[in-house]
Amino acid sequence: MYDEQQVRALHLTGISKTKASEILGIHKYHLEKYLKVIGLEWKSRVRGGSYVIEGIKDTLAGHSERLGVTIATIRWRLERNLPMDAPPAIDMVIEAEAQAFTELRKEGVPALQAAKIVGRPYESLKNAAKRFCPDDYMKVVCTAPRGKQRPANDSTEDQKAA
C-alpha cells in the first residue's frame, strides 16, 4: 500500500498524477480520491510539453506570444521543419480587399462571385469584412437573398408537370 508521506513526496517532485499513480501501483482515480481525503491539491500539468525554439525552452503558447504568431502556425512550421520567421503561406486579407468585397455585395453580386472577383477565398473575405467594416457588411448580410436562386424562367408548375 502507500502512505501519506509517500504521496506528498511524489507531489513535491512535480511529476504528474498519472506517473505518481503508476509508481504507487494504483489507478489514477483512486489516487485522486485519496488526494481529496488528505486535502492535497495536485494541479494538472500543462499538456503539450515544452519546445525548444531558437534556443528558448517554452510552451507553444509562450512561443506564440513571443514570436507574434498563432500556436497553429508554430505547430505547422515545426511539423514541416520550416523556420519560425518564414513568411506566411497566405497573405492576410487587407482592409481594401474587405471593403471591395463588401461594395460588390452591396451592388448585389453573389458572395462567391464577389470573392472570385476580389481574388480571395470567400471565408477569408467574409471574416475580414466582419472585422474591417462590420456595420456595412452586416447590412449587406441582412438584405442578401439566402440559398441558391432559381433562374427566372424556372417555375414550380414546370416541376409539377415533370
> pLDDT 10s per residue in the chain (162 long)?
568 889 989 888 888 888 899 999 999 989 999 999 988 888 876 567 788 888 988 888 889 888 888 888 899 898 888 888 887 767 788 999 999 999 999 998 999 999 999 999 999 999 999 999 888 888 888 887 665 554 455 444 444 444
Are 34 and 51 contained in the same domain? no
Q: How many domains does the chain have?
A: 3
Within this chain, do residues 100 and 126 fall inside the same structural domain, yes or no?
yes
Q: By the 8 A CB rule, do 18 and 28 touch?
A: yes
One-letter identity of residue 116: K
φ, ψ of residue 141 to 5 degrees: the values are -65, -40
Full domain range(s) for residue 16: 4-38
- Does residue 161 sit within a domain? no
pTM of this prediction?
0.44
CB-based contacts of 49, cutoff 8 Å, min separation 6? 59
